Copies of this chain bind each other. A is one copy, B any other.
């Protein structure tokens, strides 16, 4: 993701990378600066809409310096995408066979909401990428998402088998949960209008979690006694 300029593997001595201490630090720090700025800019404008001067400005580095670490805008973009794929399924760990459905799903919804809120730019960038057709998502990344989804769908099927939940199409249910939780961050402007608030606060997220969890678990209809 950032290489050519320096052949770091030229270890002068032998096994131990001779120097490369503050060396690596400068590189790591600047790459991080750039990627952080890039996520912010890309998340609002997408690949084609983003201008690298904007990224440079947001990172505090001159443009030339950005090109010292990355050889093109697309390379920066791909690097940002690569990074966020790793946290895509983080919240999914709550969906595990040895937990009770109600508790697991509530934990999942909360984790997903918190993650989205705490990583707003990344979440928006991911949404942007998918919205534009997911052409920059690697096949491995997509395959990974498919596998994880299938595995977690198995957990739901197990719960249904054990009569802990009703029969349901687990994949569509996941979509329901994903969309609902991510909405608050991706479409914050719309959520604010709908909730009639100027900005979303913790209380709003709490109520969101509660509403999603309760509704999905218990449904809306009044149960005849």
Contact = CB atoms under 8 A, between A and B. Distances in A.
Interface of A: 44-50, 101-102, 105, 124, 127-128, 130-134, 137, 142, 145-146, 149-150, 163-166, 168-169, 171-176, 178-180, 182-184, 186-187, 189-191, 193-196, 207-208, 211-212, 214-223
Q: Is the interface of A mostly helix, strand, loop or mixed?
A: helix
Contacts of A48: 45-46, 48-50
B220 A101 contact: yes
Contacts of A105: 220
B220 A166 contact: yes
B130 A165 contact: no
Given A48-B49, A130-B187, A172-B208, A165 B222 contact: yes
A222 to B, nearest CB: 6
A61 B140 CA distance: 40
A117 to B, nearest CB: 15
Contact of A171 (B164, B183, B186, B195): B195
B180 A176 contact: yes
A201 to B, nearest CB: 14
B45 A49 contact: yes
Contacts of A163: 222
Contacts of A176: 176, 180, 211-212, 215
A219 B208 contact: no
A174 B134 CA distance: 27
Top 6 nearest A-B pairs (CB, nearest first) are A219-B219, A48-B49, A49-B49, A134-B189, A172-B211, A179-B183
